């Protein structure tokens, strides 16, 4: 007798993860693969294949989420390798930190192009392919700054707030098609990028840890586990939710 599949299992599912070759995205790729999913990593980095070469049932497509033709081609590649895409994680994004009066139009457009346009194009292509099948899970990577604001991050705050709003709008629009849409809003996560900023004096990790109620930064594995939960049957009827993985950051109003 065949054992019933665990609610947390992703066995037999095909996942497409944008920005899946580094940082949080790479940890998501590893976690999804460990749960049994086949994963198409869609990443701008031409060295992405090296980052995931040890993983079985994993393929790489190199391209930009801000280009509709690349997004379409990535989905086609996933279908070629593994079959219809069941799970999409729109994770690719860029940061931005500068005074608003120093932010030029080119910089504004870049963060909007990747963070907001990229999320839209990825979700739209997912919808086109999932709606006929009446099933699918879409997970966005938003941010604490898609929920609350901070100075000198205007483009990032606006773009991630747009991702949070997009999550809710699509969840409502596509629920009757059997598609669940949720977002993760990570706080400050310990990644090589954050460690590099600390080393260059651009970031004070000690101050961030003090500001975070749990007293430490978030680990990439913790964000990936939440993503896997939202991608699995264990999250049941959850849709339209912005799930904070921030150690209590956005709940903490005391200064």
**Which residues are the active-site residues?**
156
What length does the chain have? 255
Q: Which residue do the tokens 């509709």 mark?
A: 68
Nearest to 129 by CA among 79, 190, 187, 191: 79
In 106-136, which positions are buried (b, 16+ CB within 10 angstroms) versus exposed (e)?
eebeebbbbbbbbbbbbbebbbebbeeeeeb
C-alpha pair distances (Å), 228 with each of 97, 167, 210? 29, 17, 29
Of 230, 196, 184, 197, give the one whose Cα is nearest residue 91: 184
Q: Give CA–CA dist 186/146, Å, rounded.
A: 10
d(CA 25, CA 30): 9
Round to whole Å and give the CA distance between 53 and 183: 28
């Amino acid at each position: 007798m065949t054992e019933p599949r665990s609610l947390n299992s992703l066995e037999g599912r095909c996942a497409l993860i944008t920005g899946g070759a580094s940082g949080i995205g790479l940890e998501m790729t590893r976690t999804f693969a460990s749960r049994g999913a086949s994963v198409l990593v869609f990443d701008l980095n031409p060295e992405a294949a090296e980052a995931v070469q040890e993983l079985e049932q994993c393929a790489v497509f190199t391209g930009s989420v801000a280009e509709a033709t690349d997004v379409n081609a990535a989905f086609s590649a996933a279908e070629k390798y593994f079959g219809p895409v069941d799970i999409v994680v729109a994770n690719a994004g860029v940061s931005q930190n500068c005074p608003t009066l120093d932010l030029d139009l080119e910089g504004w457009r870049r963060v909007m192009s990747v963070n907001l346009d990229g999320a839209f194009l990825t979700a739209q292509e997912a919808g086109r392919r999932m709606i006929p099948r009446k099933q699918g899970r879409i997970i966005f990577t938003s941010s604490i700054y898609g929920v609350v604001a901070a100075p000198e991050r205007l483009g990032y705050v606006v773009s991630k707030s747009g991702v949070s709003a997009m999550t809710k709008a699509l969840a409502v629009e596509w629920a009757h098609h059997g598609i669940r849409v949720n977002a993760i809003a990570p706080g400050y996560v310990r990644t090589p990028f954050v460690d590099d900023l600390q080393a260059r004096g651009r970031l004070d990790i000690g101050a961030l840890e003090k500001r975070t109620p749990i007293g430490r930064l978030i680990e990439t594995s913790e964000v990936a586990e939440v993503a896997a939960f939202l991608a699995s049957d264990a999250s049941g009827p959850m849709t339209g939710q912005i799930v904070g993985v921030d150690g209590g950051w956005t709940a903490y109003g005391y200064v």
